[in-house]
């Protein structure tokens, strides 16, 4: 059964310390949302879906690493569907990434994860907003 993976209660409990909101979607599914101020060089969790995945960010100077960690025995697949390329660097301009994700179980769980980052180099911090919408493929 995959429906238990989309139960918002474990995500709300596990994500509470991170300020993560977890709610049920009308018609079935799970919505996650979290925002954080992350210090330069810190690796920080910005989304936590127990039994599904964890999304970590690691801003270092002018670079960003994003680590999508599967928490399921079957690997959750992440695929970038949209990525801003900031041609003219503007410190206050947000950088955006969006992935489609799929957990290949029966029925599959599919959804989208988005991440926006705004960096303040003077303060040595980056602000992240992360969201996920997950549904059973048949829903």
Partner 1 sequence: MRRVALTLRADALEDVLDALMPLLPHGVYQRDMGGGRVEVAYYGDAAPTGAELDALAGAALLAREEEDVPDSREARRARVGHAWEVPGRLRVRSPLDAPGADGLPEIVIEPLEGAFGTGAHPTTRMTLELLLGLEPAGGFADLGCGVGLLAIVAARLGWDPVFAVDLEPRAVESARRNAERNGVEVRAVHADLLEVPPPPARTLAGNMPFYVHQRAAPALDAATEHVIASGVVADQATATAELYTGAGLTERARLTASGWAAIWLAR
Q: What are the residues binding partner 1 (CB under 8 A)?
A: 14, 17-19, 36, 38-45, 48, 54, 56, 58, 60-63, 65, 67, 69, 71, 85, 87-89, 91, 121-122, 124-125
CB nearer partner 1, residue 28 or residue 37: 37
SS3 (DSSP) at 120: strand
CB of 105 to partner 1, least distance (A): 20
CB of 45 to partner 1, least distance (A): 5
SS3 (DSSP) at 125: strand
CB nearer partner 1, residue 54 or residue 77: 54
Q: 33: Cβ–Cβ under 8 A, 6 or more apart, which residues?
A: 20, 21, 129, 130, 131, 132
Question: Of 76, 46, 78, which Cα lies nearest the Cα of 59?
Answer: 46
Distance CA 138, CA 65 (A): 33
CB nearer partner 1, residue 44 or residue 139: 44
DSSP 81-100: EEE---SS--TTS-EEEEEE
CB nearer partner 1, residue 9 or residue 43: 43
CB of 134 to partner 1, least distance (A): 18
């Amino acid at each position: 059964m995959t429906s238990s993976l989309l139960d918002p209660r474990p995500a709300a409990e596990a994500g509470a310390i991170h300020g993560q909101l977890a709610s049920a979607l009308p018609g079935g599914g799970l919505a996650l949302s979290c925002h954080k101020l992350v210090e330069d060089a810190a690796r920080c969790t910005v989304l936590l879906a127990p039994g599904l995945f964890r999304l970590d960010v690691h801003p270092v100077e002018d670079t960003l690493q994003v680590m999508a960690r599967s928490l399921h025995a079957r690997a959750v697949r992440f695929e970038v569907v949209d990525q801003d390329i900031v041609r003219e660097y503007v410190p206050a301009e947000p950088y955006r990434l969006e992935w489609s994700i799929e957990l290949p179980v029966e029925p599959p769980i599919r959804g989208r994860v988005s991440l926006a980052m705004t960096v303040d180099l003077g303060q040595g911090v980056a602000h992240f907003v992360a969201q996920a919408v997950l549904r059973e493929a048949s829903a």
